[in-house]
A and B are shown apart, each in its own frame.
Chain A
Amino acid sequence: MIRIGCGQGFWGDSFEAPVRLVEDGPLDYLVLDYLAEVTMSILQKQKKENPAFGYARDFPALVERVAGKGVKVIANAGGVNPLACAAEIRRRCPSLRVAVVLGDDILGRVRDFALRNLDTGELLETVIEQVLSANIYTGAFGIVEALKAKPDVVVTGRCADAALVLAPMVFEFGWSETDWDLLAAGIVAGHIVECGAQCTGGNCLEDWETIPNLSRVGYPIVEAEADGTCVITKHVGSGGKVTLGSVKEQLVYEVGDPGTYYTPDVVADFRSVHLRMDGSDRVRVTGAKGRLRPEMLKASISYHWGWKAAGTLVYGGPGADEKCRRASAIVEERCRDLGLLFERTATEVFGDTQSAMLRMAVRARDKSPVERWTREMIPLVLNGPPGATGYGEGRPKVHEVVAYWPALLPREALELRVEVIE
């Protein structure tokens, strides 16, 4: 049996969680997920400004804190510059062996493929000049190759989240690339823990009022067996809970057709999974079924779309919600008078007659109407309906919209390789 803990559900998650996973009980592998759909474009921009950047820059500091405790670390913290990430880890911890999985970055080759948007069918040609990043989602087997080099840390680029958890199982138990049910079992376990505390009581609607000690919530641990079965648990004494309900909520999280859960390594069927309690804060997972991996791999491409801004005001009662609606109508009329054109706008009112928050947002391909719009909301404090407050943040900020372009491309396009730095 091996113990795999997931110490991070996204970049920005609790900095203490992975340290506690390593220090508060037994663990063999620590996996950390850093990359959301848009993260790659942010990192690509940072790399453009400084060729030594482009990875999760707080990761090497974390490695320093958990190093030397006998736990192997696997993270997709490499972003668009895994080698620079590895170099920084080595600078901080010269005794560590770092293995890097490379080959997911296809930004330089993006014109070589006729990439169609998975949702709209549109060809990437239409936005090719605006493309900021392009990466193939890689699976577990690049990491498995890396683990063969006996590293202390494995750094990857755009690796599929659940594959970070599957990889140590494949490596330790010697599963093959066609053991579909076993691979699916690893993916199911990975899917359950990849969002960190979301399976141990965080963001959990099941009897949420009674979930204990969330301030010290335990992050999840997979106790994986060679036959593909596993137990989802957390360190004894940590907060939160592991129940059938907390695990089920995560199993259905961000899933489309549960019978066809695509990953680079296998297509998993979540309808075959069985759960039962196996002691306090322990859920046993069995029965996972998988089938032939997809012929095509998914690419995550980001491109510059345009600009957006959002602003809020708080109104006091009586009639707070009505004041919000009047205020938004005033802004809309001013924008019409100014001839500002937006691709889309949104107005939301939260609250009731006693107090309510108005939130308005606009987006456009051009920056100028958005910039002009940001000057139209705050003046309402003096020249709109009475009783506006909550404008302490000042004028709304204009943000670049970097949009996401999912596409499929043939498996052969991926040129995986591993480099070991020691």
Chain B
Amino acid sequence: MIVKLGQIAHARSGDKGNLVNIGVIAYQAEAYAVLLREVTAARVKAHFADRIEGDVERFELPNLGALNFVCRDALMGGGTLSLLSDAQGKLFGGGVLSLRIELQESEIKFLQHASYPTVTRII
């Protein structure tokens, strides 16, 4: 089943200079394995192809059921230099939640109810 990442995880993003970091957190601890399998650095980079000019590196936090993505050259210079309305990369967190991921039959239990404000729960 194809779903959106926001149906099993939440996220927050922020900046450091010209770099954006996106923390992605599984709602249920057991869903961390799905994040590990489905949410790769390459897929995050492709998801933000028009925004991230540099590479994307993934770090694992199994203790929090979370992944951290460090995206380089993502803010047109960053800080005061940036010309973007989202100069601090605040919207990458919400943005990554529309990434499409695949769930196995046994993983449907990870789908969250009130977690993702889209008209389509399951796509």
By a beta-carbon cutoff of 8 Å, the part of chain A in contact with chain B is 37-38, 119, 203-207, 209-210, 245, 248-259, 270-275, 287, 305, 308, 310, 344-346, 348, 350, 359, 361-363, 401-404, 406
Contact = CB atoms under 8 A, between A and B. Distances in A.
Given A245-B25, A249-B10, A253-B23, A119 B83 contact: no
B40 interface: no
B62 A253 contact: no
A350 B18 CA distance: 22
B21 A252 contact: yes
A310 B79 contact: no
A36 to B, nearest CB: 9
A205 B68 contact: no
A174 B64 CA distance: 30
Contacts of B12: 203-205, 249-250, 252-253
Given A205-B10, A256-B68, 9 more contacts: A251-B23, A256-B19, A256-B70, A270-B61, A274-B63, A305-B81, A344-B83, A346-B76, A361-B83
B66 interface: yes
Contact of A249 (B16, B23, B112, B117): B23
B85 to A, nearest CB: 6
B64 A205 contact: no
Contact of A252 (B15, B18, B25, B77): B25
Interface size range on B against A:
35 or more
A38 B77 CA distance: 14
Interface of B: 10-12, 14-19, 21, 23, 25, 27, 59-66, 68, 70, 76-77, 79-81, 83-85, 90, 93-94, 97, 112, 114-115, 117
Given A203-B12, A252-B61, A363 B81 contact: yes
A275 B14 CA distance: 22
Contacts of B84: 346, 348, 361
A254 B15 contact: yes
Given A209-B114, A245-B27, A254 B16 contact: yes
24 contacts: A205-B94, A209-B117, A245-B27, A249-B10, A249-B12, A249-B23, A249-B25, A251-B23, A252-B12, A253-B14, A253-B21, A255-B68, A256-B59, A257-B70, A271-B61, A273-B63, A287-B63, A305-B81, A344-B76, A401-B80, A403-B77, A403-B80, A404-B17, A406-B17
Taking each of A205, A272, A363, which has the highest tally of chain B beta carbons within 10 Å of its own beta carbon? A205
Contacts of A362: 83
Contact of B64 (A207, A252, A305): A252
A401 B63 CA distance: 41
A257 B19 CA distance: 13
Nearest to A209: B114
Given A271-B63, A274-B63, A275-B64, A206 B10 contact: yes
B115 to A, nearest CB: 6
Contacts of A274: 63
Contacts of B70: 256-257
Contacts of A404: 17, 79-80
